[in-house]
Chains A and B, each alone.
Chain A
Amino acid sequence: MEIRINGTSYPAEAGEFVLNVARRNLIPIPTLCHHDGLPEQGCCRLCLVEIGEGSRSRIVTACVYPVSEGLEVRTDTEEVAAIRRQNLALLRLRAPEAERVRQLCAYYHVPEDSRFEAMSGERCVMCGLCARACAVLGTGAISTVNRGVIKKVAPPYEEAPVSCIGCGSCAEVCPTKAIPVEQTRETREIWGRTFKMAKCSRCGEPYTTEEAARHAAGIAGLDDAGFCPDCRSRRVGEVMRGVYGR
Chain B
Amino acid sequence: MRLLKEIIQEILESYPAEQRFSLPAMQDMQRRLGYVPREGLEATSARLGRPLSALYAMASFYKALSLKPKGKYVIRLCDGTACHLKGEPLLLSSLRGELGIGAGETTADGLFSLETVNCLGSCSIAPAMMIGDKYYGKVTPGSLSALIASYRKEAAG
Contacts and interface: CB of A to CB of B under 8 A. Distances in A.
A, B assembled together? yes
Contact of B60 (A131, A139, A141, A147): A147
Sorting the interface of chain B by its residue count into under 10, 10 to 19, 20 to 34 or 35 or more gives 10 to 19
Contacts of A157: 38, 56
Interface string A140-159: 11111111000000011100
A163 B49 CA distance: 13
B56 A145 contact: yes
Contacts, number: 40
Nearest to A161: B53
B1 interface: no
Interface centre among B38, B41, B61, B63 (most CB of A within 10 A): B61
Contacts of B57: 131, 143-145
Nearest to A152: B60
B52 interface: yes
B51 interface: yes
Interface residues of A, number: 17
Interface string B33-72: 0000010010000000011111111001101000000000
B51 A145 contact: no
A141 B53 CA distance: 6
B60 A145 contact: yes
Contacts of A145: 56-57, 60-61
A140 B60 contact: no
Interface string B77-103: 000000000000000000000000000
Given A135-B54, A143-B51, 8 more contacts: A142-B53, A143-B56, A143-B57, A145-B56, A155-B53, A156-B52, A157-B38, A161-B53
Top 4 closest A-B pairs, CB basis?
A140-B51, A156-B56, A143-B57, A143-B53
